[in-house]
Amino acid sequence: MTAVGNLTHEPVEGDRFTITSEGTGDTWEIVVGLEVHCELATATKLFCGCPNHFGAEPNTNVCPVCLGLPGSLPVLNQNVVELAMRLGRALHCTVEPSVFARKNYFYPDMPKDYQVSQYDQPINVDGWLDLPDGTRVGIERAHIEEDTGKNTHAGGSGRIHGADYSLVDYNRAGVPLVEIVGRPHIRHPEQAKAYIDELRAILLATGASDAKMEEGSLRVDANVSVRRVGDATLGTRCEIKNLNSLRSLGRAIEYEARRQVDLLESGERVHQETRHWDEAAGRTRPGRSKEEAEDYRYFQEPDLVPLEPSAEWVAAVDAALPVLPAERRARLAEAAGVDPTETAVVVAVQRDLDSLALAAIGAGGDGRRVLTHVEHNLAVEGAESLDPAHFAQLVTMEVAGQLTATQAKAVLTDMVATGKAPDAIAAERGFEAMDTSQLEGIIDGIIAESPQEWAEFCGGDDKRRGKLQGFFVGKVMKATKGQADGKAVNAVLEARRAAAG
Amino acid sequence: MTLPTTATAIAAAVRAGEVSAREVVDAHLAAIEAGDASINAFNLVLADEARAAAAAVDAKVAAGEDPGPLAGVPVALKDNLCTRGVPTTCSSRILDGWRPPYDATVVERLAGAGAVAVGKTNLDEFAMGSSTENSAFGPTRNPRDPERVPGGSSGGSAAAVAAGFAPVSLGSDTGGSIRQPAALCGVIGVKPTYGLVSRYGLVAFASSLDQIGPFSTTVADSALLLEAVAGHDPLDSTSIDAPAPSLVDVLDRGVDGLRVGLVSELMGEGIAPDVAGRVRQAADALAAAGAEIGEVSVPAASYGLSAYYLIAPAEASSNLARYDGVRYGLRVDAPTTAEMNAATRTAGFGAEVKRRIMLGTYALSAGYYDAYYGKALKVRTLIVRDFEAAYERFDLLLSPTSPTTAFRFGEKVDDPLAMYLNDVCTIPTNLAGHPAMSVPFGAGADGMPVGVQLLAPALGEATMFRAAAALEAAAPPLEEAWS
């Protein structure tokens, strides 16, 4: 592969991540579709009664069914269907009559040497997920399938080739998964990360999964292609696997896009293939090549019957759905009179502080200020138990000039810790509202103490004045123990300078 | 006193305390010991286990407890039915040494009914075959003529009953594997409606076609055995959620007014004249008993064989993938996992199993699926439709079970197509999921038994058994050659 040194990139045209070739001057955009496997948080496995539990001793959560012993038969866990539908409906999918199929291939971690999955008739189809930045990413399908066991290869490189021996743990075999296949609507590595973040929030909100990337209960594969900006057709994609963190996801997409642009710019073709992300080396490597491409010989699983959830069941799932992150952002943004894509709104929902913020705004608190506090000053334990009326009162005092921003932050911290009302805390801390004449007196005293600096402040150039402004404000803050309102100090200084001039 | 020989009579006598289960079981074990060396019906005889189970039945009788409807009845189990702690081989080397940690649902139900398992019977490897010549443990011989095959794949279970080693046995029928050996050995064999008997613990050949059913020497015994094993099982998702049908109680209701159709596609070309003659004779017997006989065409049935040899191998290619040497059974070591898989499967499977795995793999392959497997599924739908149309006019259908009587060893084993044609009459019902049974009706020109097949719509077992009882009453002696 050639180096990527002749390429630059810059985020232009909004959130689109583009790569510009110095050689040709062509600008390329990234097209990404994500496939996410997540383990459903059921008590038992997909087709048997074994515990669905991470971290048990190897081969203890197994039975004839999940070991695929001869003669054993699968029985569908109804809770899997419930959780899969909950997720599907949260992703605005249609629940369709579905069937299970067998995906046939040999691998030691797969007890039956086929995986039971949904193929041409999945349970959830055609939905979407709205990213916090407003992008709508289509969801092609979200189908049910079984997980495999886990191989450990001893000796050699740690991979199956060249290992001295391999051990298989079938505890994970038969754990229920939902595979969520997103459409190629993502145009930026950061969007890919935001998609996973948002999906994780939905998985947690619906109780469908604990969605832990580090424990493997949420696994991400990225289909990456590139095309010249303006092209309507999609380029040839590569599927990137082994993405174990959001950081890996972002890095891998960026690396892979550059690799593909490099190939295309040098007149070569991108070969559709599976590639593995090597986190240490910071690059993708070819996995299974096209020549070895598997033919999975899908056919309908004859040991299971078609799955046709009743309209009543789907309606009950809908009725029980929690309010989802996108709707929570919209509600909060509307109440606060801001745009739902604002960071403060996104953060408020991520931290589960949106209901507090909504209640504070409802109690008369200024929306913008409420959000500012939530974003910057409430990343603390116990913030969610804050009394919304007290929060609103604090913001009102701040807007009225009774508290400075710095004071308000300090009071807020005490409110979270003690549960007391803001006026009581302000009184305890001696945060009296300083009237203008009192402030003027202090400033006049400081001016009198520093005639040299004052003269330079009044007569000097802008640069010098800027420096000295900091000098005077600092003195005032010191004299008032930080209780003076910075804006008011600046106003008095300006008035005095105008009078002196 | 002389020991009773039918399951019905044994159960009645044991329940009444007239004979002990132990006596009955000992007598059958003695018969096996004396005769099975030449028949080879059993892969494994469970003498100690059977004696212990019989003693437990006798203890219940002595204690005044209900020992179950099959109290003390010896039963032989096809060796593809899982038995807890007891080797289950499917007559294949690949399952060498494997002991299932669980009982098949039918095995559990039989034990619960007081039946006593006396052994595991021989079969064509993984139930693939029509002569029991494809067994890794050598062929089973037909007790009526040891130079001839017993049919297959449940040849061991059919021969065990025909030889008197057990009054009843269980087999499995994917394309005729109960009915064809029943016909060739001159016993009753029943393939129930798909889903009537749980498949849990039946080692799969072709999951959408496999069904467990009984062998017996009397229609009443098959009814008794089927009642004991049928009925919903939550462990099998394809099990029909309905109570087991009442069969024993309806046997004496006769066939007056029943409409019975002779399947014209299964009475002409390829059917031996003596076999066809016996079937017409059976139709006459039913007519004499009050049934209305007519002819019926089931056009798509002609394509049944072709569809079956795509669908069954396709499912088998997937079902048999798990025998890879990783977890149980045979392992032939090799440097890499893939090579170990290949070496194990090469050594562990016989030629017919390999042939079907290759056929099935091909039929499901990308680019061929639509032309083969997909087309076969459509044929299957047409067959169901044609049968449904036939059952609008008829309550039951009648045909030969097998085109010929029992053939000689080696006659067809090297000609797969000739062997496959043995199942031409039985396969369509498996594709439709309907019940059918074979009832002995005299012998052919060679003096070997002929079986006639009764076919019924889904869950039509009660009507089918009524007609079977009528045929049984009218049947010529088994030894009477056709002339």
Q: What is the mean pLDDT of residues B156-165?
A: 98
Is residue B409 a contact partner of residue B133, using CB atoms and an 8 Å limit?
A: yes
SS (H, E, C) A356-389: HHHHHHHCCCCHHHHHHHHHHHCCCCCHHHCCHH
> Predicted ipTM?
0.96
Check CB contact under 8 Å for B100 and A297: no
End of a domain among A382, A403, A424?
A403
* Residue A434 confidence (pLDDT) above 90: no
Chain A residues in contact with B204 (beta carbon < 8 A):
70-71, 303
Mark whether A70 and A154 lie in a shared domain.
yes
pLDDT number for residue A456: 86
Q: What is the mean pLDDT of residues A481-487?
A: 77
Residue B451, strand partner residues: B440
Catalytic residue among B78, B120, B191, B412: B78
Distance CA A184, CA A137 (A): 8
Q: Which of A68, A160, A305 shows the shortest C-beta gap to B237?
A: A305
Give residue A15's pLDDT band: very low, low, confident or very high (50, 70, 90): low
Q: In 10 A of CB B32, how many CB atoms?
A: 25
Interface of B with A (CB under 8 A): 80-82, 88, 90, 95, 98, 100-102, 104, 199-204, 206-208, 234-238, 314-315, 317-318, 321-322, 324, 326-328, 336-338, 341, 361, 364-366, 369, 373
Check CB contact under 8 Å for A302 and B314: no
Q: Which of B206, B208, B321 shows the shortest C-beta gap to A112?
A: B321
Alpha helices in A295-379 (DSSP H): 311-319, 325-336, 343-350, 354-362, 367-377
Distance CA B435, CA B451 (A): 16
Distance from CA of A124 to the nearest CA of B (A): 22
Mark whether A145 and A53 lie in a shared domain.
yes
Q: Which domain holds residue B262?
A: 7-304+375-474
Check CB contact under 8 Å for B235 and A70: no
Is A263 within a domain? yes
Is B356 within a domain? no
Distance from CA of B286 to the nearest CA of A (A): 37
Q: What is the mean pLDDT of residues A461-482?
A: 84
Summarised one tens digit per residue, pLDDT across range B190-209 is 999 999 999 999 999 999 99
Distance from CA of B177 to the nearest CA of A (A): 18
Sign of the CA dihedral A321, A323, A326, A327? Answer: positive
- Between A124-128, A290-294, B122-126, B209-213, the lowest mean confidence (pLDDT) is in A290-294
End of a domain among A317, A339, A362?
A317
* Nearest to A163, CA basis, from B340, B337, B343: B337
Mark whether A445 and A468 lie in a shared domain.
yes
Is A427 within a domain? no
Distance CA B149, CA B140 (A): 7
Is B419 within a domain? yes
* Residue A13 confidence (pLDDT) above 50: no
Check CB contact under 8 Å for A64 and B102: yes
Query: Which long-range contacts link A51-55 to residues 24+ away (Cβ below 8 Å)?
Result: A52/A175, A52/A176, A53/A171, A54/A215, A54/A217
Distance CA A370, CA A391 (A): 8
Mark whether A145 and A181 lie in a shared domain.
yes
Distance CA A226, CA B468 (A): 71
Give residue B79's pLDDT band: very low, low, confident or very high (50, 70, 90): very high
* Residue A6 confidence (pLDDT) above 60: no
Mark whether A383 and A299 lie in a shared domain.
no
* Residue A462 confidence (pLDDT) above 90: no
Helix (H, G, I), strand (E, B) or coil at A146: strand
Mark whether A213 and A134 lie in a shared domain.
yes
Distance CA A68, CA A215 (A): 25
- Between A156-160, A201-205, A485-489, B384-388, the lowest mean confidence (pLDDT) is in A156-160
**B153 catalytically annotated:** yes
Check CB contact under 8 Å for B235 and A102: no
Is residue B297 a contact partner of residue B264, using CB atoms and an 8 Å limit?
A: yes
**Mean pLDDT of all residues belonging to chain B:** 97
Sign of the CA dihedral B4, B10, B16, B17? Answer: positive
Distance CA A297, CA A401 (A): 72
Helix (H, G, I), strand (E, B) or coil at A276: strand
**Mean pLDDT of all residues belonging to chain A:** 89
Is A238 within a domain? yes
Give residue A19's pLDDT band: very low, low, confident or very high (50, 70, 90): confident
Q: Which of B204, B237, B321 shows the shortest C-beta gap to A76?
A: B237
Is A431 within a domain? no
Is A44 within a domain? yes
Phi, psi of A262 (to 5 degrees): -55, -45
Residue recorded with tokens 């896009």: A257
Distance from CA of B294 to the nearest CA of A (A): 36
**B38 catalytically annotated:** no
Chain A residues in contact with B337 (beta carbon < 8 A):
108, 160, 166
Token pair, residue A213, equals: 């990337």
Distance from CA of B361 to the nearest CA of A (A): 8
Distance from CA of A307 to the nearest CA of B (A): 11
Q: Which of A73, A102, A113 shows the shortest C-beta gap to B200?
A: A73
With a pLDDT cut of 70, the percent of chain B lying above it is 100
Q: In 10 A of CB B244, how many CB atoms?
A: 18
Check CB contact under 8 Å for B337 and A69: no
Summarised one tens digit per residue, pLDDT across range B220-279 is 999 999 999 999 999 999 999 988 899 999 999 999 999 999 999 999 888 999 999 999
Is B403 within a domain? yes
Check CB contact under 8 Å for B373 and A76: no
Is A17 within a domain? yes
Mark whether A370 and A455 lie in a shared domain.
no
Is residue B263 a contact partner of residue B298, using CB atoms and an 8 Å limit?
A: yes
Check CB contact under 8 Å for B237 and A114: no
Interacting residues of B309 by C-beta distance below 8 A, sequence separation 6+: B359, B420
Q: Which domain holds residue A470?
A: 436-500
pLDDT number for residue A198: 95
Distance CA A129, CA A124 (A): 13
Is B44 within a domain? yes
pLDDT number for residue A433: 65
* Residue B89 confidence (pLDDT) above 80: yes
* Residue A497 confidence (pLDDT) above 70: yes
Mark whether A43 and A124 lie in a shared domain.
yes
Token pair, residue A164, equals: 């001295």
What domain count does chain A have?
3
Query: Which long-range contacts link A421-427 to residues 24+ away (Cβ below 8 Å)?
Result: A421/A387, A421/A390, A421/A393, A422/A390, A422/A393, A422/A394, A422/A397, A423/A393, A423/A397, A426/A397, A426/A402
Closest-CA residue of A relative to B368 is: A297
- The amino acid that residue A46 corresponds to is L
pLDDT number for residue A402: 85
pLDDT number for residue A394: 94
Chain A residues in contact with B333 (beta carbon < 8 A):
none
Q: Which of B212, B322, B378 would you mutate first to test chain A, the one with the most A CBs within 10 A?
A: B322
Closest-CA residue of A relative to B341 is: A106
Q: What is the mean pLDDT of residues A394-412?
A: 88
Helix (H, G, I), strand (E, B) or coil at A243: strand
* Residue A7 confidence (pLDDT) above 70: no
Mark whether A494 and A470 lie in a shared domain.
yes
pLDDT number for residue A157: 66
Is A349 within a domain? yes
Q: Which of A75, A108, A114 shows the shortest C-beta gap to B318?
A: A114
Chain A residues in contact with B317 (beta carbon < 8 A):
104, 297
Total count of residues recorded for chain A: 501
Is A155 within a domain? yes
Interacting residues of B328 by C-beta distance below 8 A, sequence separation 6+: A69, B95, B97, B98
Give residue A440's pLDDT band: very low, low, confident or very high (50, 70, 90): confident
Check CB contact under 8 Å for A69 and B204: no
pLDDT number for residue A421: 92
pLDDT number for residue B231: 97
Is residue B398 a contact partner of residue B279, using CB atoms and an 8 Å limit?
A: yes
Distance CA A398, CA A389 (A): 14
Is residue B341 a contact partner of residue A106, using CB atoms and an 8 Å limit?
A: yes
Q: Which of A297, A304, A305 shows the shortest C-beta gap to B365?
A: A297
Q: In 10 A of CB A69, how many CB atoms?
A: 22
- Between A351-365, A472-486, B87-101, the lowest mean confidence (pLDDT) is in A472-486
Chain A residues in contact with B366 (beta carbon < 8 A):
295, 297
* Residue A382 confidence (pLDDT) above 70: yes
Check CB contact under 8 Å for B322 and A111: yes
Angle (CA) A115 B175 B362, round 5°: 45
Closest-CA residue of A relative to B319 is: A112
With a pLDDT cut of 70, the percent of chain A lying above it is 93
pLDDT number for residue A160: 65
Mark whether A397 and A446 lie in a shared domain.
no
Q: What is the mean pLDDT of residues A279-285?
A: 93
Q: What CATH number has the domain bearing residue A489?
A: 1.10.10
Mark whether A218 and A344 lie in a shared domain.
no
Q: What CATH number has the domain bearing residue B154?
A: 3.90.1300.10
Q: Which of A303, A305, A308 would you mutate first to test chain B, the one with the most B CBs within 10 A?
A: A303
Catalytic residue among B130, B154, B157, B177: B177
Highest mean pLDDT among A4-18, A78-92, B262-276: A78-92
Mark whether A51 and A186 lie in a shared domain.
yes
Angle (CA) A338 A344 A346, round 5°: 95
pLDDT number for residue A148: 96
What domain count does chain B have?
1
Catalytic residue among B153, B222, B317, B402: B153
Interface of A with B (CB under 8 A): 64, 67-76, 102, 104, 106, 108, 111-114, 160-161, 166, 168, 295, 297-299, 302-305
Chain A residues in contact with B232 (beta carbon < 8 A):
none
